[in-house]
Amino acid sequence: MGMVIEVIPVGPLAVNCSVVADDRTGKAIVIDPGADAQKIIEVAKEFEVIGVLNTHGHIDHVGQVKTVKEYFNVPFYLHKEDLYLIEDEIWEGFSRYIGAVPCPPPDEYLEEGMEISVGDLKLRVLHTPGHTPGLCCFYIEDENILIAGDLLFKGSIGRTDLPGGNPEEMKASLKRVFTELPDETIVICGHYEETTIGHERKFNPYLHGGLV
C-alpha cells in the first residue's frame, strides 16, 4: 500500500511530468504532460488514469494535455486564472519547436484547498501564484510530497518575468509554502532535480535574500 510516483522529464526544457498512482487501487493521475506524449502514455497506461492535472498554463507544461487527456478519456484540471495562457497563442514559434498541440479548455477548475482523490491518495491544491496567476502546487501530505511546478527549484525559484509573472505574489507564495510545510517534504520541481523544503530553507540563495 502506498504511492507510486514516476517523474518523466519531457521535451527540450525537461519539464517534469509526474504520474502519481495509488498502489492499492491502481488509480493514477498525470501532472503536466508538456511533451513526449507517447513516453508519458507508456508509463501511465500501467495504471487506471483518472485525470490530467496542470500546475500552470505555460505551453511547455500543457503541450500534450490534449493527447494524454484524449487517450485516457479523462477530465483536465487547471486554475481559472491561467485560462488566458492556454487561450492565447503567446509563443507560437516556441510551441512549434516543442511540438505542442493546442490545449483544450479545462473540464474542472482547480481551487485553493480543493482535495483530489486518487484512490486512497489525497492531493491538496495550494494556489501559489507568482510564476503565473493560476499556479497551483499539489501537496500529498501523507507521503510528504509537494509537486511544485515552477514555484521552486533546487537552488532557485520560478521566473516572474514571463507572461503572468508577479514578483510580489511569488514572494507571498514562497513564504506560505515555507511556513506551512515541514522540512522533510520532498519537492518535485517543474524542471530538473527534486529537493526538499528543509534543503531549500538552508541553501536556497533566493530565500536568504530576505524573501521569506
In the complex, which residues of this chain contact Zn ion (CB under 5 A)? 58, 150, 190
Q: Which residue minimizes CB distance to Zn ion?
A: 58
**Residues 6 or more apart from 59 whose CB is under 8 A from it?**
34, 85, 90, 91, 94, 95, 98, 100, 103
Q: Which residues of 126-139 are buried (b: 16+ CB within 10 A; e: fewer)?
A: bbbbbbbbbbbbbb
Q: In angstroms, what is the minimal distance from the CB of 87 to Zn ion? A: 16
What is the nearest approach in angstroms of Zn ion to the Cβ of residue 16? Answer: 9
| Complex with Zn ion: residue 51 or 165, whichever CB lies closer | 165
Closer of 17 and 121 to Zn ion (Cβ): 17
DSSP H or E stretch at residue 125: strand 121-127
Name which of 81 and 150 has its Cβ closer to Zn ion: 150
Nearer to Zn ion, 16 or 121 (CB): 16
Q: Specify the residue, 51 or 57, whose C-beta has the smaller distance to Zn ion.
A: 57
Smallest gap from Cβ 189 to Zn ion, in A, equals 9
Tell me how far, at minimum, the Cβ of 58 lies from Zn ion, in Å: 4
Give the strand order in the sheet containing 27-31.
3-10, 15-22, 27-31, 48-53, 76-79, 108-110
Taking the complex as a whole, how short is the minimal distance between the CB of residue 182 and Zn ion, in angstroms?
25
- DSSP class of residue 88 equals S
